[in-house]
Chain A
Amino acid sequence: MLTYIIRRLLLLLFVLFGVSILIFGILMTFSPERRAAAYVTTPQQAKDIPRLIQQFGLDDPFYIQYFRWIKEVSRGNMGWSLVAARPVREAFWRYLPVTLEMNLFAAPIVIVFGIWLGTISGIHRDTYIDHVTRIFAIVGWSLPTFLFALVLLMVFYGYFHLFTPGVISDQVTMFILDNPEKFTRFTGMYTIDGILNGRLDITLDALGHLVLPVLTYVIVVVALNMRVMRSGIIEELSKDYIITARAKGADKRTIHIKHARRNALLPVVTVAGQLLAMSMEGSIAVEVVFTRQGIGWWLAESATQLDMPVLMCICLFMGVVFVVTNLTLDILYAYIDPRIRLT
């Protein structure tokens, strides 16, 4: 098992290497002049471009520039983010907790509801329940996340005046700015920090701001999750060991939960990686619409402003997340399914 993990972590390095080359290659499609021009803000500086190119070695061969970049990255210097007006590394740690917070609240809901709804629609196939959940799934999947977020914002914030967008309300922000000693940022997540600082009202405020984003995000991902679970259950219920269990005198509940569902979870774990990818895309949309300054929002803003270093940093980050997640999922799968033995 240990050798397996080590091998997979080496694969992580390989993938990161590949990702960095990919990103860097994309960056290099710019000509040196264009790349320098990205940092130019006045006509004055435009004349300086040849000098900039010279100074930063922007017309050196690919591999030299690449190694220079790798050296910088390994030292922790990933460039400067225009959007955040601070070094990329700092900005990253500032924005990450916001995204994590939302995922932390959304993930359990997605898992529980996805499995539950998928199971009941698979068991009661082609009945009224199945059709309702199926409609829900298809509509949920057809809905662009950003659009759904906008509509929810329009209805709940605009019409009902509940749930303002943003991470936390202005009073709290003002309070923290005015009294820095009264509020320490332990984790960067307002919900948890609120409790740790003994300020439950801040936690509640942050939770209030989380309702709409989590709702939007959850509906789309549950729709996907549910369908996979449903097809898994249908497939398992047609297998022979179910008949054996029935012949033993098992009641429906035991068959559905103890036998079918456990086996059906395996394909769900398999696609969980892809679901994670889709949910990342969803969280970008949610963060943009609800103006929550997290990684997704940062990405979108940087893309609009052609801020390349940020994009490269985020791509590397995604690479790490994916390989680690896939590794965890594989181990989880091996744990559930005794037929697989990781060697």
Chain B
Amino acid sequence: MSHQHPRLREFKFTLYRIVRNPSAIIGFTLLLFFSGVALFAPQIAPPKYAYNPYMMPHKGYSPTPKPPSDSNIFGTTSGQYDIFYGAVWGTRTAFKIGLFVVGISGLVGVTLGAVSGYYGGIIDEILMRITDIMWSIPTLVLAMAIVVAFGRGLDKVMIALAMVQWRWYVRVIRSEILTLRDEDFVQAAKIMGVSDPKIILRHILPNAIYPVLIMASMDMGSMVITAAFMSFIGLGSPRGFSDWGQMVALARNYIVGPPDDPLRFWYTIVIPGGCIVLFVLAWNLIGDALRDAFDPKLRRR
């Protein structure tokens, strides 16, 4: 065992720790399931409107939701939108939101944080002051302010969230880099004449990236939640769009059914809500497993 390349051994050990973790297995399975649904959405729920497959099909405009039946597997929402269709295509929407926001905010945040942390000095000061200002307002509030300024719509929500979320990555990466910057191996590289960008990319970043990966995985989930909430209050996708938050918004007046059967319209909330919860759960489980696997103190037992 001690004859393998050390990196390969560490990688295998990390995999071992992840696989040994039952929550990780559940998380990966769920994620695989959702990816499959998202990829094969056109096959699972054929789009009715070819020009915009995200619009949910509806037969009629009746406000009362209909329970699950043969024509609508999960039932319909208020306004007769097919829940099954919404759930399937909503998976694609969720992935879009998550990947876009995490991708852009992660990239921007890591770059800015790395530069600021490594070079220090005046760049660091200015950047830190700016991020300090941004920190004083919670994500949701700031995103809401931006969406109000730019207008409604899912794309504006995604842009707003990306504009707000990068501050987390800056902070995380910067603190990691500040610790690593004074380590001996960085000093050694500097003395040998390695150029700065190369030091950052090849030496520091591979070590500093772990908390960022954990945070990115958690963010995939929490950004979907935030976007869902914004759709719920009407700032996100338009009515009829396949977005889980949108669908919950449609159910708002039907939380409580008629007095004799108060839970009649459970499917309008539980199904889109369940999709959100499972999706976020998948990403959170993975993030948690990553955190346990990467934590040097929890390793080597």
Contacts and interface: CB of A to CB of B under 8 A. Distances in A.
Which of A14, A146, A157: most chain B Cβ within 10 A? A146
Interface stretch (A107-115, A179-187, A189-197, A311-319): A311-319
B72 interface: no
A214 interface: no
B145 A29 contact: no
Interface in A16-66: 18-19, 22-23, 26-27, 29-30
Nearest to A307: B148
B280 interface: yes
B221 interface: yes
Contacts of A300: 144, 233
A78 interface: no
B241 interface: no
B6 interface: no
Given A158-B255, A234-B297, A23 B145 contact: yes
Given A147-B277, A154-B256, A157-B256, A280 B141 contact: yes
B9 to A, nearest CB: 23
Nearest to B139: A281
Which of A19, A147, A281, A304: most chain B Cβ within 10 A? A147
A104 interface: no
A315 B269 contact: no
A128 interface: no
Interface in B249-301: 251-252, 255-257, 262-263, 266, 269-270, 273, 276-277, 280-281, 284-285, 288, 297-298
Contacts of A117: none
B229 A144 contact: yes
Contacts of B88: none
A22 B139 contact: no
Given A18-B133, A150-B255, A154-B255, A318 B263 contact: no
B132 interface: yes
Interface in A286-343: 288, 299-300, 303-304, 306, 308, 311-312, 314-315, 318-319, 322-323
Interface of A: 14-15, 18-19, 22-23, 26-27, 29-30, 134-135, 138-139, 141-147, 150-151, 153-155, 157-159, 234-235, 238, 277-278, 280-281, 284-285, 288, 299-300, 303-304, 306, 308, 311-312, 314-315, 318-319, 322-323
Given A142-B280, A147-B277, 13 more contacts: A19-B136, A144-B229, A144-B276, A147-B228, A147-B276, A150-B252, A150-B255, A238-B297, A303-B144, A308-B148, A311-B148, A312-B145, A322-B135
